[in-house]
A and B are shown apart, each in its own frame.
Chain A
Amino acid sequence: MNPLTQLFNKPPTVKLVDDEVLNMPAPDYVVLPMDYTQRELYSWQVEIGDQVRQNQIIARNSMGVCLHTPISGKVFDIKPVWSEKGVHVPAVCITRGAGDIVSTDEIFDQYGVSRNQASFDDQLKALGIHPPWLPLAIDSVTVNHTPEVITNLVVVGYDEEPGIYIQYNLLIQKFDAVVQGFNLLKKILPNATQTLLTDRQASLQIKGQLPQNIQLKSVAPQYSARLLDTNIPKLLNIRFDHDRDYALQGAVVISIERLLVLMAAIEDSQPFTTKHLTVSNKAPAEQRTIRIHHGSSIRSVLEFTGFSKHKPECIIAGGPMKGIAQFNDLTPLTRSTDGIHLIAEDQIASGSGESCINCGACTRNCPVNLQIHLIGRYVEFNNFNSAKEFHPELCTECGLCSYVCPAQRPLVQFVKLCNQYGNQKNEHTPKIECSIESPLEEWDQHCTTSADMGSCPHTCH
């Protein structure tokens, strides 16, 4: 693109707030991965062939947080699938069938404690929610880590990725509910000062409507100013925490969406089985925010929203910057997916990996101040030990370096490669020729329509 014309061109404006968030109906089948971001590992409590009912607990992790099925039906398989993070994880596959909804009391029965005796944290865990004031890892929970030690509550009212507008939509459309959520959390976290972090546009819209006790902070519109990994520590005046385990540092950081989920669980005892996500297309720019059931496949979402008409060549789960390209469109969408980004064939940047011209754009744009131009070169020539000296492990994978690189080098991928292979004493090319063979592809071959899924005679293990 010609930089001179860029000087005068304004980016196209897209309509950000949908008139209403569409609810996607329950899909014909769901695939529920047992692993989220490789941190929450679930063990399943159902067998192949079991009949399950909507909202039934089917799995539980080491912290006791449960996973519920969003539809009633039959467990037709338990097998490894590709998750949207690009890793192979076990998953429970359920086809839709008859069955009523499990009542709240039954959920607690399944969980193993009666509702009246369960502690507040346990109630949330039974409903599938990790209490945000608890650290993520079980071994860092100490006895005196009570909600009282939390001194800061930050509700994030914007999505850092460009093209995702979940929090913005929810903030504008459900503003009263958000304020209620703040009041509710005031009771749970009595010592916390409350802050709402939004972008400028939203803060102009809601200015003056917020109660006095909630501080409103806004961030600049550029992507580099929106990165949560750097904004939150700056706001709270705490260390830059790479694990984002803010609970250990006395802070709760949740998004508006999680706040609403938390409220639904506390007030209506609703288990956490749905997720908002923004489907967006690169060109022509178009986006739509919808609500889906956990475990719906990308294909079903695209068909429902009508975005399959764009004939995407590349599907990215997450946003355009931090998102991960998918092997195929049967990948299940989970609690951690905020968006789907579609790119047509003629829009794909080639990423051809020309040699570095040492322009330094990557390094000057890095929010963590890494020397990306050096790390990239070292990794390119398999010199992992030298690359390690520049601390690639502190990368937040925001993707800015790859975005600005005029030579279109895959810099984030270099850093990731370094972090994964750098520890091995490996002076040669690492073995990364993994077979890109999705187990779901077998479904493609044997079960061409999703209606066949339940009765597929082939055992695709």
Chain B
Amino acid sequence: MLPVGTPWWLIVTGCLLMIFIGKKLFGGIGAYPAHPVMLTYAMLHISWPQHFDNTKALLHFDWDVPMIDVLQISRTYGQHGEALFSWQDLLMGNQVAAIGNGQILFILLGGILLLLMNAISWHIPTAFILGVVGMSAILNLIDPGLSASPLFHLLSASTLLGAFFLATESTTSPVNPIPMLIYGLLGGVLLVLLRSFSSHIDGIAFTILIINFVAPLVDRITPGIRGMELETHA
């Protein structure tokens, strides 16, 4: 999730922050209220913003792709920036994004594997993707110059990583089916909104943090308990 060429001390600081503040301070695995990785990422991002620019990190390289962060392109040119990429390019990872974010095909495969192994349930990723597609379609309809098409949002940067690997983290996500759907949907919508209107290029960290804090609230929507009717009956 960090850009290419991140200095080593940033990584060490991040590890320490994640373990001590993200996890241990709250009581270890199972007790933290927000995704520790995202919490640390957000802290680093706010503290050293100059190290979080994917475009700048690749200043001295020249590959056969547009050497600007994909999101930067879509932000500046909206749908017109999209012409630089075909969807196959995006899928195969021919895009400038942070480490690991852009390998869309492999992230997709990994996500499907998680689903098959029953490690995560389908609710959150599906709702998250629906949220991204829906929100970006609305923005795209309003003003194509402002926001790229849904497919572009889906296949660029950290969308799928967030849908399959970050939002589904069990400790910080709801457990009942309907709350999971709401949680995922909210995440998708928020991600597109942050990408389009916030001062951060990729709002994934803040999206995940915000929906993490919403999770216990939405999780109060529970299915009715069988046998509860008896109480009024007796």
Contact = CB atoms under 8 A, between A and B. Distances in A.
A312 interface: no
A360 B170 contact: yes
Contact of B175 (A240, A355, A363, A368): A363
A373 interface: yes
Contacts of B174: 360
Interface of B: 27-31, 116-119, 121, 170-177, 222-230, 233
A302 interface: no
Among B30, B31, B117, B233, which residue has the most Cβ atoms of chain A within 10 A? Answer: B30
26 contacts: A3-B117, A3-B118, A4-B117, A7-B116, A239-B230, A240-B230, A241-B227, A242-B227, A242-B230, A355-B28, A356-B30, A357-B30, A357-B171, A358-B171, A359-B170, A359-B175, A360-B174, A363-B175, A364-B177, A368-B225, A369-B224, A369-B226, A370-B225, A371-B222, A391-B228, A394-B227
B222 A369 contact: yes
A355 B29 contact: yes
A45 to B, nearest CB: 36
Contacts of B121: 364
Interface in A337-394: 354-360, 363-364, 367-371, 373, 391, 394
Interface of A: 3-4, 7, 230, 239-242, 354-360, 363-364, 367-371, 373, 391, 394, 407
A364 B29 contact: no
Contacts of A242: 227, 230
Q: Closest 6 interchain pairs by CB?
A: A360-B175, A240-B227, A359-B170, A355-B30, A357-B30, A394-B227
Nearest to B179: A360
Contacts of A230: 226
Given A239-B233, A371-B222, A360 B29 contact: no
Contacts of B171: 357-358
Contacts of B28: 355
A211 B29 CA distance: 59
B176 A368 contact: no
Nearest to A234: B226
A363 B117 contact: no
Contacts of A4: 117
A49 B173 CA distance: 66
Contacts of A370: 225
A240 B226 contact: yes
Contacts of B31: 355
A241 B234 CA distance: 11
Contacts of A367: 226
A359 B224 CA distance: 20
B175 A358 contact: yes
Contacts of A354: 30
Contacts of B117: 3-4, 7
B28 to A, nearest CB: 7
Contacts of B116: 7
Contacts of B229: 239-240
Contacts of B172: 358
A359 B121 CA distance: 10
A334 B214 CA distance: 52
B230 A241 contact: yes
A356 B223 CA distance: 21
Contacts of A3: 117-119
Q: Which of A358, A363, A364, A373 has the most CB of B within 10 A?
A: A358
B226 A394 contact: yes
B225 A369 contact: yes
Q: Which of A4, A7, A242, A359 has the most CB of B within 10 A?
A: A359
Contacts of B230: 239-242
A441 B228 CA distance: 43
Contacts of A373: 175
A90 to B, nearest CB: 32
Contacts of A371: 176, 222
A240 B231 CA distance: 11
B222 A358 contact: no
Given A4-B117, A355-B30, A358-B170, A391 B175 contact: no
A394 B29 contact: no
A363 B176 contact: yes
Contacts of B30: 354-358, 407
Contacts of B222: 369, 371
